[in-house]
Structure 1
Amino acid sequence: MDLASVVAPLRAEAERANERRLLTLSGDRTAGLDAAAAAVATLGDDADLTVVTAREGVSWAERLDPAHASRLLGTTRDAVVLDAHAGVSANVLGRVVGAVDGGGLLVLVTPPLDDWPGRRDDADERLAVPPFTVSDVTGRFRRRLVDLLYAHPGVAVVDVDAGRVERDGLTDPPPARPRSTPTTPTDAAFPDAAYRACLTADQAEALAALERLRDPDAAVVVEADRGRGKSATAGLAAGCLAAEGRDVLVTAPAYRNAAEVFDRAAALFDALDVAVERDDDGRRLSTASGRVRFRDPAAVVDSLGVGAEGDAPDALIVDEAAALPVRRLEAFLDGPAVAFVTTVHGYEGAGRGFDVRFRDRLAASDRAVTDVRLDDPIRYAAGDPVEVWAFRALLLDARPAVDQVVAGATPADATYRALDPETLLADEHRLREAFGLLVLAHYRTEPDDLARLLDAPNLTCRALLVDGHVAAVALLAREGGLPASRREAMYEGARVRGNMIPDVLTSQLRDLEAGQPVGYRVLRIATHHALRSAGFGTRLLSACHDEFDDEVDWFGVGYGATPRLVRFWERNGYRTIHCSTTRNAASGEHSAVMLRPTGPDGEVLHDRHARRFSRRMRDGLGDALRSLDPDVARAVLRATDAAPAPDLSPHEWRVVAAAAFGPGLYDAAPGAFADLALAHLTDPDVDLSPRAERLLVRKPLQGWSWERVAADLDYVSTRECMRALGAAYRPLVERYGTDVARAERRRYE
């Protein structure tokens, strides 16, 4: 077989149409890599090549380990070779596809395609969640890939063992159409050089929208698929603002996501002949009067938009905004003019989730919001077959059912169905609807989640269907049932994949037996946005409980706690057993773990940890949880079944009663006030206002100063705050008080 006779026409039509092509080389690994080297050699000595492989000894191109494939983000290559013999990660595949430039080749080196789905590799090892083994993992995701390799336009398939061309991948496309021509608006505030740097009319339109960042009350949302130049446009806007003498703060999930912003800003400074200093790590560009600088999202949130040197920036640019938690995005609204620049589809984050979760809050803010979208690709032509193949293979553009087909339905109209992987694999439409909803359930859903859905032996998917369309979906992960040796290893610090709740209870909370009972953790649950707050989530959970209660010891959930979410899970029978002392790096929230026992072993596990949780919260709120939102504290405490009975000494009762009804002082027995506050918040039988309960959290439990509490809860003075605390304790003394407390009260009647 003359491989050049396959590659030459494939590349010729790719160059003519400014598209990419996918070359699949199946068979022996060594033969496949040798063929890949021969294929990319036809690109010439000056071609920019990368081989993504865990195998050492590749000398004919830059070698990149799959674990570091994210380094290709924002870069372009004439060809990328992906060695899939050790296992194909959907995340890695998604990362490398976007790096290939128009006219270039993506080369996929695979085992024989007929055998590939049935083989077991490193990717399968990652899906083998204990107590399951790699033999329990299926190959459905690879089977789907193979089917699409044979079916999709622009994909050539060569059997290197047999020397046979199975598909030539030719599509006979028309020549590439010229890009839309960018123009400078007649009333542009940014310099003409910035608009001349735009490559498409889309970019120029987005740049014009970003001029609104000169208004401190503005918010601009820029959305695009990958490869449309959104980060470059943001960089041009940042450079224009800094050239005017403004201070521009840039944030993103990681600096690598925003590197293009800085590169484009620096290039614009050169075009404008503006002197600039760039620090050693490239994260700050300083002109004579302005600057562009990077900060991590958590640092921006903590300072509420205040810059690293303690001065507020003039504008904030958030790149890959959909990959950040809504809590953090909301905090950015308290700062200066802000631009949210985000990928609509892709593993960086779910643009649809950004729309559903954050858009309403943005609209409700006092910001003047401008929306703009970039559709024209820059690195390759619109309709590029490799992009279309990647979107379909990884479901990057999966969407729920359109609103009209489910709108107005009630939970009674829905049918409960098992969505087993074989059913989903055979029904592309239902797979896209279900996965589209799962994307919405978590802001950071990634392509690897598709492989887990289809292949992981510990996952179970259930749904509610309305007229055949997915209205709500739940993904359950089976956990526990671990042998004694595994539990011992967890207790001694070993990490165990896919067993989040047993891992937390064992390694962090020191419960050696927590991994023995078997449970289902609700990994994701989502309701179609047209049906939210209508009871579909509760109906779906109830159906899951009815189906599986007899099979497991518990149902559980772990999530970033907000008052609304805690109330949802509490209403469905779940009770708090843990609240993390640190914020989750991804969600920005303190994580709550809740259990719903279904059998005797689950009851014992729950009761043991519920008792420990209430005691732990009494001390933790005054220590590691001193900054926990009081409404989150109220919610997680209310949702526990272990309410401690206050055990105060006669002296402590006299102090509390005197402070509630007379001249007593809080400082005479602060621990007694904390015990009573905890008793009420875990079993709020007495009717206290939310503000009074927040006061119980902030002062007795978290130990904030009177001045800080008064400011936080909007009391006019510390004296008013003290009086309010005394008033909050009157009904608590009446409910829990002893004869000593009642006698003390009578002194002041």
Structure 2
Amino acid sequence: MTVRDVASRLRAEARATNERRLLVLSGAGDAGLDAAREALDAADVAMADATLVGHRDALACEHVTPRDAGALLGTTREAVVYDAREECRPNALGRVTGAVDGGGLLVLVTPPLDEWSARRDRFDEGMAVPPFDRDDVAGRFRARLVATLRAHRGVAIVDVDTGTVADDGLTYPAPRLARREPSPPDEHAFPRAAYEACRTPDQVDAVHAFEALRDPGSAVVAEADRGRGKSSAAGIAAACLAEEGLDVLVTAPAFRSVRELYARAEDVCDRLDAEYDRSETTRLALADGGRVRFAKPPAAADLPGDPDVALVDEAAALPVRLLEAFLDAPRVAFTTTVHGYEGAGRGFDVRFRETLAGSDLDVADVRLDDPIRYAVGDPVEVWAFRALLLDARPPVDPLVADADPEACEYVALEQATLADDEHLLREAFGLLVAAHYRTEPDDLARLLDAPNLRVRALCHDGHVVAVCLLAREGGLDAETREAMYTGSRVKGNMLPDVLTSQLRDEAAAAPVGHRIVRIATHHAARSRGLGSALLDGVREEFREADWLGVGYGATPDLLSFWARNGFSTVHLSTTRNDTSGEYSAIMLDPLSERGEALAARHEAWFTERIAGVLADSLTDLDADVARAALAACDATPEPGLSDDRWRVVAGSAYGSAMYSVDPEPFRRLAVCALVREDAPALAAEGRDAVRRERLLVLKLLQCRPWDDVAEELGYHSTGQAMRAFGDALQPLCDAWGGDVAERERERHR
């Protein structure tokens, strides 16, 4: 049997079942690409309907690189050829799989399968971070990938060097019932044309659910696996709402994610003969005033222009804090992927659902199960889910119901162990997916193969209840440190890179540390100290290192968590993350004398520069984030004020002196008050003390106008805010001002 025979039969069966089939062409040199060309011809796939993903434009069809495979999201192709010989990128593999239409072929061109795991490619080079090189990268992910290819139905494997057909990929399926045809619901508010644009009964149900958004105070959640048409349903609904004159604000992690949404919205407008214009800012503006516009998540969370409807697509890929902001919209809808190719953290299900249920919104839920582009039970989808662990889940809740630190065992989950134990791998990776919105298929390969990564866990009765992913960083030679200092990017050394290139500390990359990349606790066992217990185990195991570190999107709760576990703030980023909208915090926990020296100098410098940064780049930083970041800094800054400056400060605290004549000493005093553990309380009442700390941040450190400060903090007037400002200064003067402040106090008494 030839490649042409295999491809022809695979395509015939795929068409007959409206499923996809996978054809693996393994071999040396370019024989696999030559065979792919023959396979497409034999399968009657026109080059105009095919895409080649790879580093060489070797076929007469559309061509994209593996890194740009995201361009295929939202598109459908009769065939996609992935030339994975130079770079097998898991994210790209997931994306190209999703782009193949029912009846189509996914063609995977590989080296000889028995040799593939021992080869190193461009993706491996990305994991070869200093001081490691490419030879230190393992091949466990590809070994696992080959095993799944050989084990799953619907996968044909041909050795193009020998012409051997290891598996023809045919499944010989039994006859199936015809797909249910969609029809409009008996009663509907959206036009009938909208329902005629639906392709499955599930999609009809979803569009019908979106009708609730015609009324203020409503929320809709549409949940589905990829390829079920949830974004298309949202686009149909958005067009109907805009046709009624409503302003619909759409957001997603990237605009490419909503291209299908806009395509379907335009299709419905055409069906309704609704006039519309497209623009870069509005995207879709109807003649009668309705519109469907797009904004990136951080900007959209502010609800610019007061939209009538906020529509959050791919909500599972956004942090919970950002999702909560959309609940202020008059009407809101969320579409969320159950098993995603681009990160599918279950923060939406586990944490946000409770917040949504507790809101004043009337919530309607709808789930789409029937695939749009291919039949239920498609073997290529089943294979992709297993190969990329798209359906990985933590242990079920009852298995960890009794977990606490005393009942758990600290376990080093070695990469070889995870590769050999599918159950353990699924639990550990599933917990990372559940807890973090950015976990993606690439992370699976890194977890198994990256030489700088370690996985540590707490296990309860053999089940993973908490997991930590660590990256070894630092320990770089003088030449590499100099290159980093002068602007070169050094892979896999995030914290040394920031401390060296941004903060100009060339020696920072010499000590060896371990950065905590991710840490996750099972949602059914939170608030029991498991995360802290896991960090204690990590600290004990890696005590020979110089430091532990972490970098993350800063929130008050997270800053407090890391501070409680011995980490100290040394840096706040000055730009927001495009997806989360958060500023990042970097914290260190020193483990050795070298680590102590590194942390001490950066803690001290952080307290010296933070006032200027808050007054400039971080003027929009949330005051509670600033308070928590300062409180988490393990430094003891001194006011260091001259007698003249103490008289100005004390005069403002006790009398009529004006802080505006010399704000700098007030700012230094505010930093001391917010950082030092021995700082006096700013007020007897705990709640008022918090407000006064916010006052110091907003007025002294971020230099906000008095009127804005008073309004934000709930003071009745600007005068009341000014008096509270003086009251907050008094205990600081009493504690640190000495005789100068005391004399000033007595003069004004």
Normalised to the residue count of structure 2, the TM-score between the two structures is: 0.97
Contact 1:250 1:316 in 2 (8 A): yes
Contact 1:195 1:207 in 2 (8 A): yes
Counterpart AA for 2:369 = D
Residues in 1 aligned to 2:5 and 2:695: alpha-carbon distance in whole angstroms: 77
Q: What displacement does 1:747 show?
A: 2.1
Q: What displacement does 1:102 show?
A: 0.8
Aligned counterpart, 1:569: 562
Unaligned runs of 5+ in 1: none
Aligned counterpart, 1:296: 296
Aligned counterpart, 1:488: 482
Q: What displacement does 1:748 show?
A: 3.1
The one of 587, 607, 610 equivalent to 2:580 is 587
Residues in 1 aligned to 2:177 and 2:170: alpha-carbon distance in whole angstroms: 19
1:313-462 to 2 correspondences below 5 Å? 313-462=307-456
Residues in 2 aligned to 1:154 and 1:232: alpha-carbon distance in whole angstroms: 28
1:518 aligns with 2:516: no
Aligned counterpart, 1:51: 52
Residues in 2 aligned to 1:107 and 1:224: alpha-carbon distance in whole angstroms: 26
Residues in 2 aligned to 1:659 and 1:64: alpha-carbon distance in whole angstroms: 65
The one of 582, 606, 609 equivalent to 1:613 is 606
Q: Output one character per residue of 1:235-284: Cα deviation in whole Å (capped at 9) or x when no partner.
A: 11011111112221212122111111111111111212222223379922
Counterpart AA for 1:467 = D
Counterpart AA for 2:182 = P
Q: What displacement does 1:477 show?
A: 0.3
Normalised to the residue count of structure 1, the TM-score between the two structures is: 0.97
Counterpart AA for 1:464 = L
Q: What displacement does 1:333 show?
A: 1.9
Aligned counterpart, 2:304: 306
How many pairs does the alignment contain?
Answer: 741
Aligned counterpart, 1:162: 162
SS in 2 for 1:534: coil
Counterpart AA for 2:303 = G
Residues in 2 aligned to 1:673 and 1:140: alpha-carbon distance in whole angstroms: 58
Aligned counterpart, 1:25: 25
Counterpart AA for 1:327 = R
Residues in 2 aligned to 1:608 and 1:138: alpha-carbon distance in whole angstroms: 37
Q: Output one character per residue of 1:582-621: Cα deviation in whole Å (capped at 9) or x when no partner.
A: 2122332111111111111111111111111100102111
Q: Output one character per residue of 1:528-554: Cα deviation in whole Å (capped at 9) or x when no partner.
A: 00011110000000011111112x110
Q: What displacement does 1:576 show?
A: 0.7
Which segment is superposed worse, 596-605 or 667-676? 667-676
Counterpart AA for 1:598 = L
Residues in 1 aligned to 2:174 and 2:14: alpha-carbon distance in whole angstroms: 10
Contact 1:344 1:351 in 2 (8 A): no
Residues in 1 aligned to 2:555 and 2:292: alpha-carbon distance in whole angstroms: 34
Counterpart AA for 1:299 = A
The one of 623, 628, 634 equivalent to 2:621 is 628
The one of 529, 537, 557 equivalent to 2:550 is 557
Contact 1:347 1:444 in 2 (8 A): no
Contact 2:54 2:87 in 1 (8 A): no
Aligned counterpart, 1:126: 126
Residues in 2 aligned to 1:45 and 1:607: alpha-carbon distance in whole angstroms: 64
Contact 1:343 1:349 in 2 (8 A): no
1:112 aligns with 2:106: no
Residues in 2 aligned to 1:119 and 1:378: alpha-carbon distance in whole angstroms: 37
Aligned counterpart, 1:206: 206
Contact 1:24 1:108 in 2 (8 A): yes
Residues in 1 aligned to 2:608 and 2:651: alpha-carbon distance in whole angstroms: 26
Aligned counterpart, 1:14: 14
Residues in 1 aligned to 2:632 and 2:278: alpha-carbon distance in whole angstroms: 52
Q: What displacement does 1:683 show?
A: 1.0
Residues in 1 aligned to 2:167 and 2:468: alpha-carbon distance in whole angstroms: 39
1:152 aligns with 2:146: no
1:171-182 to 2 correspondences below 5 Å? 171-182=171-182
Q: Output one character per residue of 1:382-401: Cα deviation in whole Å (capped at 9) or x when no partner.
A: 11110010010001111100
Q: Output one character per residue of 1:44-102: Cα deviation in whole Å (capped at 9) or x when no partner.
A: 2646111111113422x222222221111111111111001102000100110001111
How has the CA–CA distance of structure 1 residues 555 and 80 changed in structure 2, closer, same or farther, with 3 Å as cutoff?
same
How has the CA–CA distance of structure 1 residues 56 and 205 changed in structure 2, closer, same or farther, with 3 Å as cutoff?
closer
Q: Output one character per residue of 1:360-394: Cα deviation in whole Å (capped at 9) or x when no partner.
A: 33233322222211111010011111001001000
Contact 1:18 1:176 in 2 (8 A): no
Contact 2:91 2:342 in 1 (8 A): no
Residues in 2 aligned to 1:700 and 1:157: alpha-carbon distance in whole angstroms: 68
Q: What displacement does 1:176 show?
A: 4.2
Counterpart AA for 1:305 = L
Contact 2:217 2:330 in 1 (8 A): yes
Q: What displacement does 1:724 show?
A: 0.6
Aligned counterpart, 1:87: 87
SS in 2 for 1:533: coil
Aligned counterpart, 1:692: 692
How has the CA–CA distance of structure 1 residues 46 and 146 changed in structure 2, closer, same or farther, with 3 Å as cutoff?
closer
Unaligned runs of 5+ in 2: 683-688
1:544 aligns with 2:538: yes
Q: What displacement does 1:16 show?
A: 1.7
SS in 2 for 1:482: coil
SS in 2 for 1:253: coil
SS in 1 for 2:550: strand
SS in 2 for 1:109: strand
SS in 2 for 1:653: helix
* Percentage of pairs with the same residue: 60
How has the CA–CA distance of structure 1 residues 724 and 313 changed in structure 2, closer, same or farther, with 3 Å as cutoff?
same
Which segment is superposed worse, 681-690 or 593-602? 681-690
Q: What displacement does 1:177 show?
A: 3.0
Residues in 1 aligned to 2:618 and 2:573: alpha-carbon distance in whole angstroms: 8
Aligned counterpart, 1:66: 66
Contact 2:252 2:312 in 1 (8 A): yes
Q: Output one character per residue of 1:144-182: Cα deviation in whole Å (capped at 9) or x when no partner.
A: 001111111111110001110001111111234322333
Residues in 2 aligned to 1:497 and 1:510: alpha-carbon distance in whole angstroms: 18
Q: What displacement does 1:323 show?
A: 1.7
How has the CA–CA distance of structure 1 residues 112 and 529 changed in structure 2, closer, same or farther, with 3 Å as cutoff?
same
SS in 2 for 1:557: strand
Residues in 2 aligned to 1:382 and 1:135: alpha-carbon distance in whole angstroms: 42
Residues in 2 aligned to 1:58 and 1:8: alpha-carbon distance in whole angstroms: 19
Aligned counterpart, 1:674: 667
Residues in 1 aligned to 2:234 and 2:330: alpha-carbon distance in whole angstroms: 16
SS in 2 for 1:182: coil
Counterpart AA for 1:36 = A
Which segment is superposed worse, 419-428 or 273-282? 273-282
Residues in 1 aligned to 2:432 and 2:39: alpha-carbon distance in whole angstroms: 39
Contact 1:29 1:110 in 2 (8 A): no
Residues in 1 aligned to 2:152 and 2:347: alpha-carbon distance in whole angstroms: 28
Q: What displacement does 1:194 show?
A: 1.0
1:663 aligns with 2:656: yes
Counterpart AA for 2:408 = A
Q: What displacement does 1:326 show?
A: 2.5
Residues in 2 aligned to 1:217 and 1:139: alpha-carbon distance in whole angstroms: 52
Q: What displacement does 1:3 show?
A: 1.8
Which segment is superposed worse, 165-174 or 705-714? 165-174
Which segment is superposed worse, 328-337 or 262-271? 328-337
How has the CA–CA distance of structure 1 residues 14 and 704 changed in structure 2, closer, same or farther, with 3 Å as cutoff?
same
Counterpart AA for 1:260 = E
Q: Output one character per residue of 1:295-347: Cα deviation in whole Å (capped at 9) or x when no partner.
A: 2223323xx2123xxxx221121111222233322222222311111211112
